[in-house]
Structure 1
């Protein structure tokens, strides 16, 4: 690979690494020379990805974890640091999209759970990563956001709220880290053909009225 040494001696931690954007990010970072710590709730998928990365000559560690739990995040970073050193690059990717439905029709427990994963989990991971970055001082913190952070989408109130909150969190963090050598940035990837897109295409039209837009984009082969 052309950039095989670009991230040599760097450690990257990716949440939601078992599938979709997180999995792709892990592969690219490893191909660029980074040692990668892979976090997700699905241990089997993580170990499969470790095998793929090591076969390509990379270094990877799988740490099954629920990033909404503080003790899991503490364990995740401790294991990563023991294996590869402190984190240079954090990719806050883990997120879920359900519940679908109008605000008054959604389950409060599911609504809360989404925020715990999508927003609070990113806070916990960022909080764990920043002290080590400040000691260097350098680092990169990437938040995977969405266009719904700035545009309403009927039927996904929890997801929309979590991504809007994530961008405000990222902006505040960037200001707090100004001049430190650490960069925080939020990315909106657009419509990518991931497992989350399958959930959207399989959704009940009564709960997610605009699902047909995604089904049509998929039918035309226009997903990234």
Structure 2
């Protein structure tokens, strides 16, 4: 248990908090004193993480649903305000992989679903939450981008486009709201142990091409907790003059 309680009295929304990087981030924020809204598609996972937070004496509530739907975004925002009275940090972490499909092989359903969850949902959440941050005097938005935010060789067309979009959204938020006390940054994980899966079609063109570049990944796979530490740092007062950054957390993959 950390002795650093620098988030005491603050409230944090973490999306995709039922597993992987989101779960690790939710637990770290709670450990440092934050009240945490756990948002996830899985009811079982969301309530498990809420239980983990409460078991250590922390405060957490869950909202279950598809963040690609405006009504779920509204419920997340309303629940955080009702239970905590304010929103200090938004962690836009929820995301899904594509099928590593090349553009010519990407069906509309794959494209639209990946863009909806990975990019439109973070936009809708920021749109809903940032005005409350401004009213309260400031806040921080941290997104989970990806190595696919920098390059075309880390995923398929849909995921790559969505994560480039996350980087752009992060920078736009930083510029638009820096004079309002709201900072926006993102982490760009490399290979990390999480529950996210790739349902690639065997023998498809995209996976065959992307696979040949994976040898340039970091020399080891990160733990979710390592990514969470970077998220918490970017949301903290220690990063008070860091704004508009997409931070690689990838053991040097971005430098290759």
TM-score, normalising length: structure 1 = 0.90
Q: Counterparts of 1:62-101 in structure 2 under 5 Å?
A: 62-101=62-101
2: CA distance, partners of 1:151 / 1:13: 29
8 Å Cα contact 2:147-2:190 kept in structure 1: yes
Which secondary structure does the structure 2 equivalent of 1:13 belong to? strand
Report the alpha carbon displacement of residue 85 of structure 1 after superposing the two structures with TM: 1.7
1: CA distance, partners of 2:183 / 2:127: 14
- Which residue is equivalent to 1:26? 26
8 Å Cα contact 1:99-1:107 kept in structure 2: no
Report the alpha carbon displacement of residue 99 of structure 1 after superposing the two structures with TM: 2.9
Which secondary structure does the structure 2 equivalent of 1:160 belong to? helix
8 Å Cα contact 2:143-2:185 kept in structure 1: yes
- Which residue is equivalent to 2:113? 113
Report the alpha carbon displacement of residue 189 of structure 1 after superposing the two structures with TM: 2.1
Report the alpha carbon displacement of residue 205 of structure 1 after superposing the two structures with TM: 5.3
2: CA distance, partners of 1:194 / 1:214: 17
Q: Does the C-alpha gap of structure 1 residues 199 and 137 become closer, same or farther in structure 2, counting only changes over 3 Å?
A: same
8 Å Cα contact 1:144-1:186 kept in structure 2: yes
For structure 2, the 5+ residue unaligned runs are 223-256
2:202 to 201, 204, 209: 204
Which secondary structure does the structure 1 equivalent of 2:75 belong to? helix
Which secondary structure does the structure 2 equivalent of 1:177 belong to? helix
Deviations 1:127-166 (A, max 9, x none): 1111111012110100110111121127511000001111
- Which residue is equivalent to 1:127? 127
Q: Does the C-alpha gap of structure 1 residues 172 and 154 become closer, same or farther in structure 2, counting only changes over 3 Å?
A: closer
- Which residue is equivalent to 2:221? 223
**What's the RMSD between the two structures over aligned residues?**
2.2
8 Å Cα contact 1:87-1:133 kept in structure 2: yes
Q: Structure 1: which 4+ aligned runs deviate by more than 4 Å? A: 212-218
2: CA distance, partners of 1:193 / 1:212: 20
Q: Which has the higher contact order (CA 8 A, sep 6+)?
A: 2
- Which residue is equivalent to 1:48? 48
Report the alpha carbon displacement of residue 4 of structure 1 after superposing the two structures with TM: 4.2
Count of aligned residue pairs for this structure pair: 220
Report the alpha carbon displacement of residue 190 of structure 1 after superposing the two structures with TM: 1.8
Report the alpha carbon displacement of residue 214 of structure 1 after superposing the two structures with TM: 5.6
Deviations 1:30-88 (A, max 9, x none): 10100000111101111011111111111110100211111111111111211112210
TM-score, normalising length: structure 2 = 0.80
For structure 1, the 5+ residue unaligned runs are none
8 Å Cα contact 2:98-2:155 kept in structure 1: no
Report the alpha carbon displacement of residue 204 of structure 1 after superposing the two structures with TM: 3.3
- Which residue is equivalent to 2:6? 6
1: CA distance, partners of 2:78 / 2:67: 14
